[in-house]
């Protein structure tokens, strides 16, 4: 994948980003927000409900609680949390974004291969702050 697109929401950074960079759209900070152990995901996004965790990330069955989770999975949780919040554009003003709508978010997700409509049922299961 093109390393200028946010793995979480698909926002185009327009330049290559790396650890410590924060997405203006979904607000994820690379190598920080996406750096999670299984037990942190279980608590933060699943309210310690192991069944929820299994539904969203069956790959984590049998993984130790203290193990750091692969980024493609942590990005999934960040993405679902963003969808659950209604896909807000965090720093729209700074990026000169006006009239950001869910339609724009859908297009952005399409670019990185995710269908908004299929994310919603899972997003509704998770807990987000
Ligand atoms: Zn993003």
* Helix H or strand E segment including 44: helix 38-46
Nearest CA among 34, 26, 30, 8 for reference residue 92? 26
Summarised one tens digit per residue, pLDDT across range 112-123 is: 999 999 999 999
Rounded distance from Cα 27 to ligand 1 centre (Å) = 6
Sign of the alpha-carbon dihedral angle for 62, 1, 29, 12: negative
| Residue 65 to residue 58: CA distance in whole angstroms | 14
Rounded distance from Cα 64 to ligand 1 centre (Å) = 28
The predicted pLDDT at position 17 comes to 85
* Residue spans of the chain under pLDDT 70: 1-2, 129
The predicted pLDDT at position 18 comes to 86
Tell me how far the alpha carbon of residue 106 is from its chain's centroid. 14
| Residue 45 to residue 85: CA distance in whole angstroms | 13
Mapping DSSP to helix (H, G, I), strand (E, B) and coil, where does residue 128 land? coil
Pair 75, 113: CB distance under 8 Å: no
The predicted pLDDT at position 83 comes to 97
Rounded distance from Cα 109 to ligand 1 centre (Å) = 10
**Domain regions of the chain by residue span:** 38-123
Pair 13, 6: CB distance under 8 Å: yes
Rounded distance from Cα 7 to ligand 1 centre (Å) = 7
Tell me how far the alpha carbon of residue 84 is from its chain's centroid. 10
Nearest CA among 5, 2, 125, 8 for reference residue 56? 125
Hunting for tokens 């926002």 — which residue is that?
11
């Amino acid at each position: 994948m093109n390393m200028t697109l946010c793995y979480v929401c698909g926002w185009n950074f327009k330049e290559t980003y790396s650890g410590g960079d924060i997405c203006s759209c979904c607000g994820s900070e690379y190598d920080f927000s996406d750096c999670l152990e299984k037990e942190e995901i279980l608590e933060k996004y699943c309210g310690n409900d192991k069944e929820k965790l299994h539904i969203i990330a069956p790959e984590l069955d049998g993984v130790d609680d203290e193990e750091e989770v692969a980024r493609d999975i942590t990005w999934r949780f960040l993405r679902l949390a963003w969808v659950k919040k209604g896909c807000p554009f965090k720093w729209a003003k700074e990026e000169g974004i006006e009239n950001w709508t869910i339609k724009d978010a859908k297009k952005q997700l399409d670019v990185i291969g995710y269908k908004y409509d299929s994310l919603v049922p899972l997003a509704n299961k998770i807990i987000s702050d």
